[in-house]
Chains A and B, each alone.
Chain A
Amino acid sequence: MLPVSLNSAVHARVRCAAVLLVLFIAPAVSAQSQDETVSSPADVSLPQISAVPIFSAGLAYNTFIQGGTPNLHPLVSPVILIPFGENWLIESRDTFEINLAPVPGENGYKGYLQKEVDYLQLDYIASRYFTITVGRFLTPFGVYNERLYPVWIRDLQSDPLILPISTGPSGAGTGAMVRGAIKATPKIEVNYATYFSTLSRDTPFDSDRDVGARAGIFLPGPRLEVGGSFQYLLEDQRSNAFGFHFAWQPPPLPLDIRAEYARSQNGSGYWIESAYRLSQLNVLHDALRRLQLVARMQQYYLGKVLDADLPQVNTNMFEFGMNYYIQDDFRFVTSYGRQFAPDGGNMNVWTLGVTYRLALPVGHGDVQ
């Protein structure tokens, strides 16, 4: 009797997941059917320039001082983009990093090289509303993992406490994904991503077996974006997870406000971050226009099942940072944070570092 009821429950959940996937994909398919009749600025022709492969990399050298213990953290994250045909793209990002820490009783710092394949995926842009991705991809749960994670993008170098929630053991899934964006009205854009990931425990390609979806609405006028994510874990600990994201860049101001909330069986929490670039001040304009002030507040609450990647106790943290931009992709970063946790978990966290992003074409390309 028990196996029968278990199977029924499993099948019911799989059916629910399938229905959800279909419903999330439906808007794209519905809009795609109108693809041929659209006549708007979207019909602007692209220049006849062939795309060339690109080698890019994010580089960082950060010093973290946590509770008085310094850690040196060099990181290189190469990105390779290989376009072919009219609608295909192979893209990959790896991360090589070392966490150098002092060893008690010895001189100097010691650590070991950590390697990770963040993503290695094949994209096919099937239509203006619909892209199919297969391979290893960043889990689209929230937006931080996909869009804000690179060291040269993130405003504070430390990860949000809730980042490991539902992004998998290494922030990536292995399987297939369908995603895209739709201009619903002149003032509303809708974006979506649905995915299935299979179980893998082969480092550095480890991933969880799960299905999930993310949908968001972007209002280009006020530059406001809100959305939600859902994931169903298809392993021994079958469970649901959900989250919400929010981003706002008020057009008159060089201000970014972002926030995320996530909840799963492993815990729940939120972070809210604001970053203000002092480019509109009249005083010392040449110097201050390159300076950005950042603040972030976050809280994490333990769940039913402990996860080694998440804090092991309820944790609150506040951080304040300053970034000085030499260029849009080269900057000095510094921050101070105070962590509040029980049982001696209170500590100061200082960060000092430099981040850089390079991008190089590989090939000449043709202009017609």
Chain B
Amino acid sequence: MNSRCVILSGALAVAAGLLLLAHSARGQQGGTPAPTRTGSPATGHAQAQTTSPPDDEALRVEGEKRFHANCGRCHQSPHKFPPRMVMTIERHMRVRATLTDENMRLIVRYLTQ
């Protein structure tokens, strides 16, 4: 009985931790603007740029970084596949390796460029 209580308590603690993390994620995503990747100085004009989409080169670099960080968690980083295959592999790996939506979007963009 004691071991069962310990296990249940541990599982509840993990679940509570996840709730806290999700809550903090909500606060971050809803309370701050999208980060800029242009590296522009903080002028009034640049302030407006912080809500513009990141440029292609920055996305490519970030996509390559995510590609190596996530694909390498399980296997050697694979060679590039044709774009039509990438779109299917994206769904497969999203489920199999529980990758985040953001990681998958950046990786797909990198692999299809």
B-contacting residues of A (Cβ < 8 Å)?
16, 20, 23-24, 26-28, 30-31, 34, 37-47, 49-54, 81, 83, 87, 89, 91, 123, 125, 128-129, 131, 133, 146-148, 152-153, 179-186, 188-193, 213, 215-218, 220, 223, 225, 228, 230, 240, 242, 247, 249, 251, 325, 327-329, 359, 361, 363-365, 367
Query: In the bound complex, do residue A41 and residue B73 qualify as a contact, i.e. CB atoms below 8 Å apart?
Result: no
The 10 closest A-B pairs by CB, nearest first: A128-B101, A365-B84, A23-B15, A27-B22, A42-B102, A51-B87, A191-B98, A184-B21, A328-B76, A51-B88
Instruction: Write out the residue numbers on chain B whose beta carbons fall within 8 Å of the beta carbon of A44.
Output: 53-54, 59, 102, 105-106, 109
Cα–Cα distance between A181 and B35 once the two chains are bound (Å): 21
Q: Which of A53, A179, A367 contacts B98 (CB 8 A)?
A: A179
**How far is B88's CA from A278's CA once the two chains are assembled, in angstroms?**
32
Chain B interface helix/strand/loop/mixed: helix
Count of chain B residues near A, Cβ 8 A: 68
Check if A47 sits within 8 Å of B100, measured CB to CB: no
Knowing A26-B19, A30-B26, A193-B98, say if A47 contacts B106 (CB, 8 Å): no
Measured CA separation A4–B109 after assembly (Å): 59
| A-side contacts of B39, CB under 8 Å | none
A-side contacts of B30, CB under 8 Å: 34, 37-38
Decide if B74 is an interface residue (CB 8 Å cutoff): yes
A110 and B82 alpha carbons, distance in the complex (Å): 41
Q: How many A-B residue pairs have CB under 8 A?
A: 215
Contacts of B7 in A (CB 8 A): 230, 240, 242
Contact at A54–B89, with CB atoms within 8 Å? yes
For A217, the closest partner residue in chain B by CB is B21
Given the complex, which residues of B lie within 8 Å of A361, measured CB to CB?
A: 82, 84-85
Q: Which residues of B contact A191 (CB under 8 A)?
A: 98, 100
- Let me know if B73 and A249 touch, CB within 8 A: yes
- Please tell me which one of the listed residues A39, A152, A249, A327 contacts residue B72 in the complex, with CB atoms under 8 A apart: A249
- Check A215–B85 contact: CB distance below 8 A: no
Rounded to whole angstroms, the CA-CA distance of A75 and B100 in the bound complex is 32
* C-alpha spacing A191/B97, complex, angstroms: 9
CB distance from B7 to the nearest CB of A (A): 5
Report whether A182 and B25 are in contact in the complex, using a CB–CB cutoff of 8 Å.
yes
Q: CB of B75 within 8 A of chain A?
A: yes
Which of A89, A230, A363 makes the CB contact (< 8 A) with B91?
A89
B88 to chain A, nearest CB (A): 4
Structural contact, A31 and B87, CB atoms closer than 8 A: no
Contact present for B109 and A46 (CB under 8 Å): yes
- With a cutoff of 8 Å between Cβ atoms, the chain A residues found around residue B24 in the complex are 184-185
- Chain B interface (Cβ < 8 Å from any Cβ of A): 3-4, 7-8, 10-12, 14-16, 18-19, 21-26, 28-30, 33-35, 37, 51, 53-54, 59, 62, 66, 69-70, 72-79, 81-92, 94-103, 105-106, 108-109, 112
Cβ–Cβ < 8 Å partners of A27 in chain B: 18-19, 21-22
State whether B19 touches A52 (Cβ < 8 A).
no
Contact of B108 among A26, A46, A182 (CB under 8 A): A46
Q: How far is the CB of B23 from chain A (nearest CB, A)?
A: 7
Q: Name 18 interchain pairs, CB-CB below 8 A, sorted by A.
A: A23-B16, A26-B18, A27-B19, A34-B29, A43-B53, A47-B108, A49-B86, A81-B92, A89-B95, A128-B100, A184-B21, A184-B22, A190-B18, A220-B70, A225-B73, A249-B72, A325-B76, A327-B79
B87 to chain A, nearest CB (A): 4
How far, in whole Å, are A228 and B100 apart by their CA atoms in the complex?
A: 19
Contact between chains at A223 and B21 (CB < 8 Å): no
- Besides A28-B22, A47-B108, 4 new A-B residue pairs in contact (Cβ under 8 A), listed by A number: A47-B87, A129-B101, A218-B73, A361-B82
Given known pairs A44-B109, A52-B88, the reply for A20 and B78 (CB within 8 Å) is no
- The distance in angstroms between the C-alpha atoms of A51 and B86, with both chains bound, is 8
Whether A247 touches B73, Cβ cut-off 8 Å, given contacts A46-B108, A81-B92, A185-B24, is: yes
- Distance (whole angstroms) from the CB of B85 to the closest CB of chain A: 5
B73 lies within 8 A of A49 (CB): no
Distance of A175 from chain B, by nearest CB (Å): 15
Q: How far is the CB of B98 from chain A (nearest CB, A)?
A: 4
Contact B25 A183, beta carbon cutoff 8 Å: yes
Which of B22, B29, B51, B72 makes the CB contact (< 8 A) with A38? B29
